A and B are shown apart, each in its own frame.
Chain A
């Protein structure tokens, strides 16, 4: 028996590995044994606990090792010690269960017949696994049975134990190879019921053989209609109906005596203490899964992909042969593996029985994207909105694990939305319901991403539902949260613009009746941009012009807003509010100022393009920009050129009383915001001048004039201020050198 060899070698390895520690423990135990006085041992134990904080656990472990060692060695006459070691093993087993190694040892001990029946019985009763039972131990035990050293009652106990622990055995392949051995044990009348039960658990289709059926029928003829034999026979009949022609009574509730009852309570008690306990023995768990969780589908939130069971069955029943021949049949979901397959079978695809399952399948998401069947979308809508509300963890008290599960669920939804480039309506409805209750922390990144996928709709309708709550959170949260909200609104705007730009194209082809609402859509978009402008203005004040925040604000304008006309082909230009423009213009950070220059350049290009288009078409459409936009832009432009270039700041628009400036002792203020003196560029000016004459202790900033001014500009460009370069090229005509 090769497996037995393996076990032995394994056992040897283990003993050799920790033989040294074993030895010391063993010697310690011998000393105690010599004293042969339980009192002194207990005293010794007390000392240990005083010495060592972790003593109790170690001690129990040590005692267990000693006890196992004792049993392995065989009986020694002093029965007092046997009792003590048995107690030790029992205590550990009932408290924590035994490791696979421990069970391996005890199983051999019990079946080797070294001890009496009473001891063997006790050993069996406490053989409770902490985790799993090694298959090898069972194989080894069977070889002990062959040795014939144990009594009949011990054998019975062994089979009962094996049946009870069947689900805890790590593998069953080798045990199944012993099928013939077990089957032969059926002849033993005392063992028969238990062996039957074991075979019932073990039987595979390939184990059912004619000679075995014959044997079972013989046994039945000999012993009469025994429930356990019937069970095995009916199982055989289930696997190979042709082999068994005798009729078996169908109505039978209990085939086997409950042989696991010896260990049942122990196993139940063991479960909660071992989180890593295998979930395999379902019958143990089923009893208490449901009452604890009110959730029914305990495995995962998203249902498994199954094609519609019921309709398939009913269809099968009603279809006769001609139906089968005439129809192409439907394409089962389980076979759908590739995109070409989807295209070929899209007309006859079987939909999942639970539409929520599409979230996990990118192929079906393709399908969802183009399906015209309203009921498919409604099913998904209902399932998703109910699940979101049911799972949403800020409705519940702090439940960390659950929060993670919910975050994962949201991630899956977001992946699907991103894949479809379209938001789900259920998510929108969920946001409306849950945003007023949101603390701004829970699943923040997921939640904000959901916001950015809200499908386009009227801003004024959405404002009280969504944006008002969002602004409340915005103003009361940290700068980082403010920045992430700006980021998410930027993505929202991008998504809206993408939809709208696509929609316009479709309309021009189809001549749809919705033409008139384009103005309304543009209104909505501009309202959203104004809303972000309002948030930004207030945030700039609240956070006292923090560069970090300014960067996110400008990002919103740079990446999306300033280029709407050119990038999305939508008739809309919205400028930033003065509350953003002026703090940025006066910012101390050159990169911010550079960004501003870039944005102004893009605005310039968009407005010029719009004007040109208008001029070409000569049509005064309702989307022509009001002169107010141009005026506003010109005002900003003048202010910028006045500050940075001509050194005549704030001639128009923003007016500052000279007296105020005088009081602030800034008499000569005109030049102080130009490219040379602007605080954001100051470091560039100094290093530019030092480049020329590195020895200079004092730099003369006003020396940058005429040709030197141009060199200075080139220097700034070479330092990476490309926005500035674009701005100056497009907005300043270099005929007049200042």
Chain B
């Protein structure tokens, strides 16, 4: 024990001093742990949220630019912060990822000589898809098929699209250091083999971790309430709920479609606090739907499992699939999804 009185630093001492840092709660790691503790000990989600307001995109951003993000089914993943990634190196990343995909796809095909792989990987930023100035810029990765004829210059077909974003991700941003880029939400559309290869590359290159982001029934009801509460100029789709009854041999699905204006009217009748949605309101909204259904069909929907919610704003499936329909509320939808992703990685 005497050696510890010596002024030289020993590794062990360092470790202890690190331990001490944790007592003060100064390090990002400690902040993370504290937030985990808080989350675990208290109710996991805040009992109130803001109703998404109209377009929250920065003013200089053209909403048409994001049209390709709408009306497409995206599979959701949560993603831990990317280590040492840089927006200035996109060109290099595309090259490396291109090579990696080529190598992966041709595993087992002996030696492939020369660059004859007909795909092209493109990295690009999605300027403006963020909630606050602190949120890092979202970015997009696409795999395009190169046209066979070298003379043709037009862009090839999009084979796979994935994008990374962070909308109002303050709680996560606070807990990491500058070496990391926080883009906790990853949305993908395309073949799963490609997702696996590209995800593996990202995990290897930026030491991050992808996890499929499922949406539980509790959060689906929140989505139903928040999206019903959104003001719409005209409704594009009916409001529809899908419940699943687990019974053998095949589970039974109950679909419940409501005219969107009726849904809005129901919401207005339970809604009290302006601009906000509270847990009580969500519960009440769902209870009203349940009791209405029970009156007609004598089925207690509360005993079944909510698996899908579709509204004019967006539709979400419990498997972690989402389709955003209304450009006006793109940011609002992403904000809630970011919140869920951040919760999953904490």
Interface residues of A (CB under 8 A from B): 167, 200-201, 231, 234-235, 237-238, 248, 250-253, 281-284, 286, 290-291, 294, 296-297, 303, 306, 309-311, 313-314, 353-355, 366, 369-370, 372, 374-375, 377-379, 381-383, 385-387, 389-390, 420, 422, 425, 428-429, 432-433, 455-457, 461, 464-465, 499, 502-503, 505-506, 508-510, 512, 514, 517
Contact between A505 and B108 (Cβ–Cβ < 8 Å)?
Answer: no
Distance between B198 CB and nearest chain A CB, rounded to angstroms: 10
A-B contact pairs, 13 of them (CB 8 A): A231-B113, A251-B114, A296-B203, A309-B204, A314-B89, A370-B15, A378-B32, A382-B208, A428-B33, A456-B19, A506-B13, A509-B4, A510-B17
Complex Cα–Cα for A52 and B37 (A): 66
Residues of chain B lying within 8 A (CB to CB) of residue A311: 84
Contact between A422 and B20 (Cβ–Cβ < 8 Å)?
Answer: no
Chain B residues 12 to 30 lying within 8 A of chain A, measured CB to CB, are 12-20, 22-24, 27-29
In this complex, what residue of A is CB-closest to B212? A294
- Determine which of A201, A309, A369, A461 lies in contact with B11 in the assembled complex, contact meaning CB atoms within 8 Å: A369
Chain B residues 59 to 105 lying within 8 A of chain A, measured CB to CB, are 80-81, 83-84, 89, 92, 96
Which of B19, B40, B207: most chain A Cβ within 10 A? B207
Which of A294, A382, A464: most chain B Cβ within 10 A? A382
Residues of chain B lying within 8 A (CB to CB) of residue A509: 4-5, 7
Complex Cα–Cα for A387 and B150 (A): 44
Contact between A502 and B12 (Cβ–Cβ < 8 Å)?
Answer: yes
Residues of chain A lying within 8 A (CB to CB) of residue B203: 296-297, 303, 354
Residues of chain B lying within 8 A (CB to CB) of residue A309: 204-205
Complex Cα–Cα for A697 and B259 (A): 99
- Determine which of B23, B116, B200, B209 lies in contact with A252 in the assembled complex, contact meaning CB atoms within 8 Å: B116
Question: Known: A200-B110, A382-B208. Contact between A432 and B37, CB under 8 A?
Answer: yes
B109 interface residue (CB < 8 Å to A):
yes
- Determine which of A234, A303, A377, A422 lies in contact with B114 in the assembled complex, contact meaning CB atoms within 8 Å: A234
Distance between A116 CB and nearest chain B CB, rounded to angstroms: 35
Distance between B223 CB and nearest chain A CB, rounded to angstroms: 23
In this complex, what residue of A is CB-closest to B200? A296
Complex Cα–Cα for A354 and B201 (A): 11
- Determine which of B5, B29, B208 lies in contact with A381 in the assembled complex, contact meaning CB atoms within 8 Å: B29
In the complex, identify which listed stretch (B176-184, B260-268, B289-297, B322-330) lies at the interface while the others stay far away.
B176-184
Q: Given A284-B108, A290-B196, output 6 extra A-B contacts at Cβ < 8 Å.
A: A167-B108, A238-B111, A250-B116, A294-B212, A296-B210, A354-B207
In this complex, what residue of B is CB-closest to A231? B113
Residues of chain A lying within 8 A (CB to CB) of residue B177: 374-375, 378
Contact between A374 and B193 (Cβ–Cβ < 8 Å)?
Answer: no
Question: Known: A200-B110, A370-B15, A389-B211. Contact between A306 and B204, CB under 8 A?
Answer: yes
B133 interface residue (CB < 8 Å to A):
no
Number of B residues near A (Cβ < 8 Å) is 64
Residues of chain B lying within 8 A (CB to CB) of residue A381: 29, 32
In this complex, what residue of B is CB-closest to A502? B16
Contact between A377 and B29 (Cβ–Cβ < 8 Å)?
Answer: yes
A interface: dominant SS = helix
- Determine which of A313, A370, A374, A382 lies in contact with B14 in the assembled complex, contact meaning CB atoms within 8 Å: A370
Contact between B107 and A517 (Cβ–Cβ < 8 Å)?
Answer: no
B144 interface residue (CB < 8 Å to A):
no
In this complex, what residue of A is CB-closest to B93? A310
Complex Cα–Cα for A429 and B4 (A): 31
Interface residues of B (CB under 8 A from A): 1, 4-5, 7, 11-20, 22-24, 27-29, 32-33, 36-37, 40-41, 80-81, 83-84, 89, 92, 96, 107-111, 113-116, 118, 150, 176-177, 179-180, 192-193, 196, 199-200, 203-205, 207-212, 345-346
Contact between A310 and B205 (Cβ–Cβ < 8 Å)?
Answer: yes
In this complex, what residue of A is CB-closest to B4? A505
Distance between B341 CB and nearest chain A CB, rounded to angstroms: 12
Contact between A251 and B36 (Cβ–Cβ < 8 Å)?
Answer: no
Complex Cα–Cα for A465 and B40 (A): 7
Complex Cα–Cα for A432 and B20 (A): 22
Number of A-B residue pairs, CB cutoff 8 Å, is 159
Residues of chain A lying within 8 A (CB to CB) of residue B36: 429, 432-433
Which 9 A-B residue pairings sit nearest by Cβ, starting from the closest?
A: A282-B108, A283-B108, A370-B11, A382-B80, A386-B209, A250-B114, A429-B36, A375-B179, A505-B4
Distance between B180 CB and nearest chain A CB, rounded to angstroms: 7
Residues of chain B lying within 8 A (CB to CB) of residue A286: 107-108
Distance between B52 CB and nearest chain A CB, rounded to angstroms: 29
In this complex, what residue of B is CB-closest to A351? B207
Complex Cα–Cα for A374 and B115 (A): 40
Question: Known: A370-B15, A381-B32, A432-B40. Contact between A281 and B204, CB under 8 A?
Answer: no
Complex Cα–Cα for A428 and B84 (A): 26
In this complex, what residue of B is CB-closest to A200? B110
Contact between A251 and B116 (Cβ–Cβ < 8 Å)?
Answer: yes
Contact between B16 and A297 (Cβ–Cβ < 8 Å)?
Answer: no
Contact between A353 and B204 (Cβ–Cβ < 8 Å)?
Answer: yes
Contact between B4 and A499 (Cβ–Cβ < 8 Å)?
Answer: no
Contact between A505 and B80 (Cβ–Cβ < 8 Å)?
Answer: no
- Determine which of B1, B81, B109, B113 lies in contact with A238 in the assembled complex, contact meaning CB atoms within 8 Å: B113
Contact between B110 and A461 (Cβ–Cβ < 8 Å)?
Answer: no
Complex Cα–Cα for A512 and B26 (A): 15
Complex Cα–Cα for A201 and B32 (A): 52
Contact between B113 and A291 (Cβ–Cβ < 8 Å)?
Answer: no
Question: Known: A374-B29, A375-B179, A455-B19. Contact between A461 and B37, CB under 8 A?
Answer: yes
Complex Cα–Cα for A252 and B114 (A): 9
In this complex, what residue of A is CB-closest to B208? A382
Complex Cα–Cα for A105 and B12 (A): 68
- Determine which of B16, B109, B110, B205 lies in contact with A506 in the assembled complex, contact meaning CB atoms within 8 Å: B16
Distance between A492 CB and nearest chain B CB, rounded to angstroms: 16
Residues of chain B lying within 8 A (CB to CB) of residue A510: 17
Contact between B211 and A386 (Cβ–Cβ < 8 Å)?
Answer: yes
Complex Cα–Cα for A314 and B93 (A): 10
Contact between B27 and A374 (Cβ–Cβ < 8 Å)?
Answer: yes
Contact between B207 and A433 (Cβ–Cβ < 8 Å)?
Answer: no
Complex Cα–Cα for A355 and B208 (A): 10
Contact between A353 and B193 (Cβ–Cβ < 8 Å)?
Answer: no
Complex Cα–Cα for A25 and B113 (A): 54
Distance between B104 CB and nearest chain A CB, rounded to angstroms: 9
Complex Cα–Cα for A735 and B235 (A): 100
Contact between A387 and B209 (Cβ–Cβ < 8 Å)?
Answer: yes
Complex Cα–Cα for A687 and B92 (A): 87
Which of A303, A386, A387, A512: most chain B Cβ within 10 A? A386
Complex Cα–Cα for A252 and B16 (A): 61
Complex Cα–Cα for A375 and B206 (A): 12
- Determine which of A375, A389, A464, A514 lies in contact with B20 in the assembled complex, contact meaning CB atoms within 8 Å: A514
Contact between B5 and A314 (Cβ–Cβ < 8 Å)?
Answer: no
Contact between A378 and B28 (Cβ–Cβ < 8 Å)?
Answer: yes
Distance between A153 CB and nearest chain B CB, rounded to angstroms: 26
Contact between A369 and B15 (Cβ–Cβ < 8 Å)?
Answer: yes
Residues of chain B lying within 8 A (CB to CB) of residue A428: 33
- Determine which of B107, B193, B346 lies in contact with A282 in the assembled complex, contact meaning CB atoms within 8 Å: B107
Distance between B295 CB and nearest chain A CB, rounded to angstroms: 36
Distance between A281 CB and nearest chain B CB, rounded to angstroms: 7
- Determine which of B7, B150, B345 lies in contact with A382 in the assembled complex, contact meaning CB atoms within 8 Å: B345
Contact between A425 and B33 (Cβ–Cβ < 8 Å)?
Answer: yes
Contact between A310 and B96 (Cβ–Cβ < 8 Å)?
Answer: yes
Residues of chain A lying within 8 A (CB to CB) of residue B92: 314
Complex Cα–Cα for A664 and B342 (A): 67
Complex Cα–Cα for A294 and B118 (A): 26
- Determine which of B11, B83, B109 lies in contact with A283 in the assembled complex, contact meaning CB atoms within 8 Å: B109
In this complex, what residue of A is CB-closest to B117? A253
- Determine which of A291, A294, A389, A499 lies in contact with B19 in the assembled complex, contact meaning CB atoms within 8 Å: A499
Question: Known: A281-B108, A429-B33, A509-B5. Contact between A382 and B23, CB under 8 A?
Answer: no
Distance between A433 CB and nearest chain B CB, rounded to angstroms: 6
In this complex, what residue of B is CB-closest to A386? B209
Question: Known: A310-B96, A369-B11. Contact between A353 and B28, CB under 8 A?
Answer: no
Complex Cα–Cα for A570 and B289 (A): 62
Residues of chain A lying within 8 A (CB to CB) of residue B96: 310, 313
